[in-house]
Structure 1
């Protein structure tokens, strides 16, 4: 019996299957420093213990996307080690803050499967959950991924595609973050005077700056999350694959876009939920990522007078500045668009 793990192929997945993932991961201030070095995120709440304590947190929380990536990384050896591409996300809920010293673990349940018409791959739908060391649920999300078949001739399971919500309701955000101390949020230290009531539905913001992705950076990021997907690391195998080179982990693009969004949404310190996300095209090292966002909705958070919710639609592009707001068009997506992300941020009122 082989003692090595080749990963699961499409025909290994069954509806309702539950998977407990290795390995628990304690998040440290070292992870925070490395995450900041990789993306340059500047949100004051995650950058300063003093700022966080002043507004009612026990200390600076871990960046919500760092939590997402660590939990995501736990699932890769079992869900997407043999993936062709991660296709999208839905119903991603950040349930409570995570702090340095917390230990994260993950488990997943298979929600759906569908073989592709080429008979060589199929799409697997899963819900993954992240827990802290006391068993509290801190993150829950659905994703779908295209996975290779072990044997093209093998019989595919009956197709079943789960119904997923198109958005997370603002009622969910009532307990995402502790109540902010009245009057304690310092706009000067946060980097912007614009709060919840200053944004209008339909408003578009070009985040202006661009970030060039280096080969070492995206591989270092994937290692930080213990993401073992072959497509990000193994040039020997990928040189013979579809693109002939290593792919940048899609979450790397999400974190770059989020960090770039500081220029326009500096007070939007917490992510409440990701309603949906799509990787439109692959990104490769050497390209420069730009981003822009449109305010889709603005909602109060029930029971909260201290924060409101903004629903943002953010697009990231490869080697294309966003001064003309490239996104969807009549035929699909504008050239160079690599990410469409629909998410809620929480921002002081």
Structure 2
């Protein structure tokens, strides 16, 4: 009996199956420091204990996307080791801040399956939860992945497609207990733009760009314990090691500081697509469209829905061609809710 893990193939998934992923991880200040070294991340709430305390929190949490990457990385050996592509996200919610010293583990439930017409691959839908040392769910999201079949003659399972919300409402969002922006220091945050200064339909060009380096993206992917072969092994992608999509998400979010420095906390993920592959040498730039705004019951706190787009050609405001498909220069199309001082 082999002792190594070849990963699951499409025919190995069943709706209702719950997978508890190895290995729990205690998050420390080192993750924050390395995250800020890998990405130009500068949001004040995640950089300063004093700033966070003035906002009603116990201290500075680790960046929301650190929590996402840690939880996501644990799922890779069980969900996407044999994936062709990570296709999309939905119903993502950050439920509790993650602080240095918290220990995170992940578990996923299979909520949908559909074999593709070629009979060689299928799409698997999973709802993943990140759980801390107190058994509290800190993060949950749905993603769907195209996975190879190990045996192309395996019978197709009954198609089950989950009913997913296209957009989270503001009532679906969980705002950290005690959060207040009444004592918010705009000078220390880096910009004066408040929630009321943004208009639905407005497009913000974040101006700056970062060229992806081979060593950095592999270091980042190892940091999150993501074991997908396409990120490391050139025999799987002779044209180049594929950049982990989360690396592109974090880079684009960090670049969005220029123009959205006060979009402090990510609390919801409505949807997302990795539109085209990213490789070392590509230069990532980003722009954001304001999609919606909503008031909250928390003092001084507004919610803003943003569409974050990362490109490798520097284009702004233009995503798809006449055929309805993403243009080749588009890398990421991410729809999320953030919290901002009013």
- Provide the TM-score with structure 1 as the length reference: 0.95
Q: Following the alignment from structure 2 to structure 1, what is the Cα–Cα distance between the partners of residues 174 and 252? A: 26
Q: Following the alignment from structure 2 to structure 1, what is the Cα–Cα distance between the partners of residues 80 and 173? A: 30
Does the CA-based 8 Å contact 2:294-2:304 persist in structure 1? yes
Aligned to 2:97: 97
Among 315, 320, 334, which residue is 1:328 paired with?
A: 320
Cα offset, 1:238, TM superposition = 2.6
Cα offset, 1:177, TM superposition = 5.3
Deviations 1:144-181 (A, max 9, x none): 00111101121121111111001111123353353216
Structure 1 position 127 matched with structure 2 position 127: yes
Q: Following the alignment from structure 1 to structure 2, what is the Cα–Cα distance between the partners of residues 62 and 180? A: 18
Cα offset, 1:119, TM superposition = 1.2
Gaps (5+ residues) in structure 1?
none
Q: How does 1:174-253 map to 2 (within 5 A)?
A: 174-176=174-176, 178-180=178-180, 182=182, 184-239=183-238, 244-253=239-248
**SS state at 1:236 partner:** coil
Q: Following the alignment from structure 2 to structure 1, what is the Cα–Cα distance between the partners of residues 173 and 111? A: 25
Does the CA-based 8 Å contact 2:44-2:189 persist in structure 1? yes
Q: Following the alignment from structure 2 to structure 1, what is the Cα–Cα distance between the partners of residues 236 and 330? A: 27
Moved more, 269-278 or 54-63: 54-63
Q: Following the alignment from structure 1 to structure 2, what is the Cα–Cα distance between the partners of residues 170 and 268? A: 15
Cα offset, 1:304, TM superposition = 1.9
Cα offset, 1:306, TM superposition = 1.8
Aligned to 1:74: 74
Aligned to 2:107: 107
- Provide the TM-score with structure 2 as the length reference: 0.97
Aligned to 2:37: 37
Among 251, 254, 269, which residue is 1:256 paired with?
A: 251
Among 331, 335, 341, which residue is 1:342 paired with?
A: 335
**SS state at 1:60 partner:** coil
Q: Following the alignment from structure 2 to structure 1, what is the Cα–Cα distance between the partners of residues 284 and 80? A: 25
Aligned length: 341
Aligned to 1:316: 310
Structure 1 position 278 matched with structure 2 position 273: yes
Does the CA-based 8 Å contact 2:181-2:299 persist in structure 1? no
Does the CA-based 8 Å contact 1:174-1:304 persist in structure 2? no
Aligned to 1:265: 260
Cα offset, 1:268, TM superposition = 0.7
Q: Following the alignment from structure 1 to structure 2, what is the Cα–Cα distance between the partners of residues 316 and 102? A: 31
Q: Following the alignment from structure 1 to structure 2, what is the Cα–Cα distance between the partners of residues 158 and 87? A: 20
Q: Following the alignment from structure 1 to structure 2, what is the Cα–Cα distance between the partners of residues 314 and 329? A: 18
- In structure 2, relative to structure 1, the CA distance for the partners of 1:212 and 1:123 (3 Å cut) is same
Gaps (5+ residues) in structure 2?
none
Deviations 1:96-134 (A, max 9, x none): 100001000010000111111111111100000001110
Q: Following the alignment from structure 2 to structure 1, what is the Cα–Cα distance between the partners of residues 263 and 158? A: 43
Does the CA-based 8 Å contact 1:57-1:178 persist in structure 2? yes
Q: Following the alignment from structure 2 to structure 1, what is the Cα–Cα distance between the partners of residues 174 and 161? A: 31
Aligned to 1:58: 58
Q: Following the alignment from structure 2 to structure 1, what is the Cα–Cα distance between the partners of residues 223 and 205? A: 29
Q: Following the alignment from structure 2 to structure 1, what is the Cα–Cα distance between the partners of residues 93 and 174? A: 12
Does the CA-based 8 Å contact 1:71-1:106 persist in structure 2? yes
Q: Following the alignment from structure 2 to structure 1, what is the Cα–Cα distance between the partners of residues 259 and 87? A: 28
